[in-house]
Amino acid sequence: MSTLFHAHKGDNRPSTDLGNLIVAKISSPWATGRSYSETIPLEEGLALLRSLTLNEGIGENFPAIVFRIDRSVRFPSMQHPLPSPIARRRTFAIISHPDAGKTTLTEKLLLMGGAIHLAGAVRARGEGRRTRSDWMKIERQRGISVTTSVMTFEYGGYTFNLLDTPGHEDFSEDTYRTLTAVDSAVMVIDAAKGIENQTRKLFEVCRLRDVPILTFVNKMDREGRDPFALMDEISDQLALDTTPLTWPVGSGSDFRGCHDLLDDRMTLVEKGTNVPLTPLERAQLEEEIALIGAACPAFDPASYREGHLTPVLFGSALRNFGVRDVLETLARFAPAPRAQPAEARLVDPMEERVTGFVFKVQANMDPNHRDRVAFIRLCSGRFRRGMTLTQVGTGKTISIYNPILFFAQNRELVEEAWPGDIIGVPNHGTLRVGDSLTEGERLCFTGIPNFAPEILRRVRTIDPMKAKHLKRALESLAEEGVTQVFRPLPGTDWIVGVVGALQLDVLADRLATEYGLDTVLETAPYETARWVTTDAAAEIKRFIEAQRSSLAEDGYGRLVFLARNAWEIGHVGEKWPLLRFQSTCERT
């Protein structure tokens, strides 16, 4: 026997047997007379009911809730429902164009989850209040995110793993790799600017990986564009269905709050006020809700999880309005940990044996130590402190005695972790981005590439006696996967490759502050790089002999062709047809 959970509001239609899931049906008519229904596990349904009954104003909004447990329905295919620790995990990233309010939203989510007690204003003066996710010195100086931060917190019985990504396009490679480790994403849009360039690029990365997108239209307390126009833009430019879950009343100085379209209730910006909407505001709201019912598709959680539809929320992160809606929507609708692609097969989170992959390495998170921490996304199994895992690429075993959970640069030891969690493993160069870890099976997780750099610079120290120190520093920073390091086959120079110019500033700053190295970045006679591969080993030898002055090795010892321009890449490719000149290279 299995359990069927119902929560109805004047709707006693039977729920549907969907095989391996317990059904929860929540019905809340909008002004259009629509109802909403969803399929979720029993435990989530029970938690949802508890949260609904605890919400302020529940008596007005759900006057006819009926709760019953029906044990007469069989679900023969439901042999192994997701255990609670897995079902209650939500691992997500926040993506946006710079200055859309991403870091502010991150801070307020952490504040809401109790992970911090005072959110730091992004542009605050002094050291008293700084954004918690922007922990590097250069981030605090410039007020931007230049590296991915991982933060874990609890809210409403769920465990959230939040990955705050760099919004600046110069750090898109770090963001791309981060998106391999999440199950969903929150897209933050400035209400006045709509879809911007970097937002579009990051969305395309999410689309490539079928990552579901929840949209948060931020800065509603400032003058902005019409909400219908914003949703049309999302639909047109991103080819997504859009369905609002909340709807704003007013904007800018006239912003009153948002109407929850699923739960049919109004939340005002000014808490504690009993000033109702004016008759004009009420009439306009009812008219707009009717228009939503006619123009927008009904919210379908399955379509959202498949990446075809984005639910839209409105609010102001700065005023902490709409932030709770983001968390509750993620808990209610976002996918639990999903199966992860490996070369041989998909790895299901329900598998008993532990697997995971390294998607990021961060050096010097603790300025008091020359530490190096590998960020590992757990894909399956129950991880326990002290476990021994196999590094698939090398076949070596690693005993993990000090696994940590992250809160920006702060950390704490963890005794166990589950699929979807991001754990840190301190190491001294043993683990690199792209490494797969298992309990013995040869599984290589895919989709974590290097991208060809767009800017190449020769780097040297002002003090020649510190050349060896520079070598160690560059190798350490290269393991993070943001800055690429190339060693030309002839000579002793070091060449660094980056995607954007801002990365060069970050590199120079970190070499100075973390390693005490004053360096000079000089123009190199190359424009870009390509990884050289072939199935003909003899051809590689001939190529090295003929092109040695234009060849280098990357940090993994792979052969790289340094090109002066795009024309040279094409010319050399025609001359050596048995070779492949690749702009991306899989990290395995």
Residue 578 pLDDT more than 60? yes
In the structure, what pLDDT confidence band is assigned to residue 68 with cuts at 50, 70 and 90? Answer: very low
Provide mean pLDDT across the span 536-565: 93
What distances in angstroms separate CA 48 from CA 6, 8, 67, 209, one per listed residue? 11, 13, 12, 29
Distance CA(504)–CA(509), nearest Å, equals 9
Report pTM. Answer: 0.74
What are the beta bridge partners of residue 188?
96, 216
**Residue-range domain boundaries for the chain:** 4-70, 84-333, 340-438, 449-586
Please answer whether residues 214 and 301 qualify as being in contact, where contact means their C-beta atoms are separated by less than 8 angstroms.
Answer: no
**Tokens 């230049």 found at:** 146
- Would you say how long the chain is, in residues? 588
Residue type for position 407: F
Distance CA(448)–CA(164), nearest Å, equals 18
Residue 486 pLDDT more than 80? yes
Query: What is the CB-side half-sphere exposure of residue 161 using CA atoms within 13 A?
Result: 30
Sign of the Cα pseudo-torsion (402, 406, 410, 414, in order): negative
β-strands 559-563, 404-407: how paired? unpaired
Please answer whether residues 368 and 409 qualify as being in contact, where contact means their C-beta atoms are separated by less than 8 angstroms.
Answer: no
Query: What is the CB-side half-sphere exposure of residue 349 using CA atoms within 13 A?
Result: 22
Superfamily grouping for domain 84-333: P-loop containing nucleotide triphosphate hydrolases (3.40.50.300)
Distance CA(108)–CA(193), nearest Å, equals 22
Q: What's the pLDDT at 568?
A: 95
What distances in angstroms separate CA 100 from CA 136, 195, 313, 500, one per listed residue? 20, 10, 15, 20
Residue type for position 80: H
In the structure, what pLDDT confidence band is assigned to residue 336 with cuts at 50, 70 and 90? Answer: very high
Residue type for position 24: A
Provide mean pLDDT across the span 152-175: 77
Tell me which of 3.40.50.620, 3.30.70.260, 3.80.10.10, 3.30.70.3280 is the CATH number of domain 449-586. Answer: 3.30.70.3280
Over residues 363-417, the pLDDT tens digits come to: 766 656 567 889 999 999 999 999 999 999 889 999 999 999 876 556 789 999 9
Q: Do domains 84-333 and 340-438 have the same CATH topology?
A: yes
205/151: higher pLDDT:
151
Distance CA(388)–CA(438), nearest Å, equals 9
Q: What's the pLDDT at 196?
A: 87
In the structure, what pLDDT confidence band is assigned to residue 581 with cuts at 50, 70 and 90? Answer: very high
- Go through 76-89 and write b for each residue having 16 or more CB atoms within 10 A of its CB, e for each that does not: eeeeebbeeebbbb
* Distant-in-sequence contacts of 252-259, Cβ < 8 A, 24+ apart: 252/221, 252/222, 252/223, 252/224, 253/221, 255/220, 255/221, 255/316, 256/281, 257/321, 258/220, 258/313, 258/314, 258/315, 258/321, 258/322, 258/325, 259/285, 259/289
Domain at 340-438: CATH code? 3.40.50.300
What are 353's two structure tokens? 């044996």
* Distant-in-sequence contacts of 567-575, Cβ < 8 A, 24+ apart: 569/528, 569/530, 572/547
Over residues 438-453, the pLDDT tens digits come to: 998 999 998 777 788 8
Residue 219 pLDDT more than 80? yes
**Tokens 């959680």 found at:** 301
What are 369's two structure tokens? 């130590």
